Amino acid sequence: MPLSILLFIVMGTITWINRKKVPKTKAEDNRSRKGSVFYGMLLGVLNPVQIPFWLFFGNYVILHEWIHTDYLSLVIFSFGSGIGSAVALYGYAHFAKYIQEKFALSSLLVNKSIAIFLWILALYLIIKQTLVYLG
């Protein structure tokens, strides 16, 4: 758990430092549609935002004893997490244009929100760890 706390604090700080950087857009290149889909799925699988989310959620469900820590339960949880992430990514990709049009937020606001969210997760885990230690 201390590793996940450190990870949340570091990722929140990095996001806060880079909050004002506007992402650069490149001109449309000549990639095939199949290549673009593969690239998008690869980015989805290697998405660094998923790591702290699953660390937090995994700790949460294990601490509440909603899943057991035996091999089979963890494998089933991992596959379910992967399938859930894939479905969520597909849904986001499918409605991305609608989302962009309806929720046009500045990158500054989004980055600040993500940094604050990661710090709150770290604080929650610190408090939870302290209560377990004292209890």
Averaged pLDDT, groups of 10, the chain, 135 residues long: 80 84 54 61 69 78 84 84 78 69 67 88 90 81
CB 12 within 8 A of CB 116: yes
CB 12 within 8 A of CB 122: yes
Tens digit of each residue's pLDDT (9 = 90 or more) over 51-68:
777 778 878 888 888 888
The CA R_g of the chain, rounded to the nearest whole Å, is 18
Distances (CA, A) of 105 to 23, 101, 117: 13, 10, 17
What is the percent of the chain where pLDDT is above 70? 70
- Pure H helices in 18-106: 33-45, 50-63, 71-94, 96-102
